[in-house]
Amino acid sequence: EASTCGSTPYSASQVRAAANAACQYYQSDDTAGSTTYPHTYNNYEGFDFAVNGPYQEFPIRTGGVYSGGSPGADRVIINTSCQYAGAITHTGASGNNFVGCSNST
């Protein structure tokens, strides 16, 4: 599903690629590079996702699938059954909180 995080638009295929990568890392108990991603997302913000948790968060990037380094502000959320939950961003949120990306939560 296409989504806009802050002022950054993502195509449906970019969102799907990030979700698929998160799923593959999660299922193989692996992470991107030397990072901790994907990792547990506790949904302290209380987003009403279309699928049930528990959730994992993984960075979404405009230039290909995240493979390590700075994660940026934007995240794709999947559940541990690898179902897509939504996209969220630190952009426009206070502190370390998240807000929903448009068209996605």
Please list the active-site residues. 39, 57, 90
CB 68 within 8 A of CB 32: yes
Q: Which tokens is 53 given?
A: 């948790």
| Cα 63 versus chain centre, distance | 15
For residue 67, how many other CB atoms are within 10 A of its CB? 12
DSSP bridge pairs for 88:
75, 100
Cα separation, 38 vs 7, whole angstroms: 24
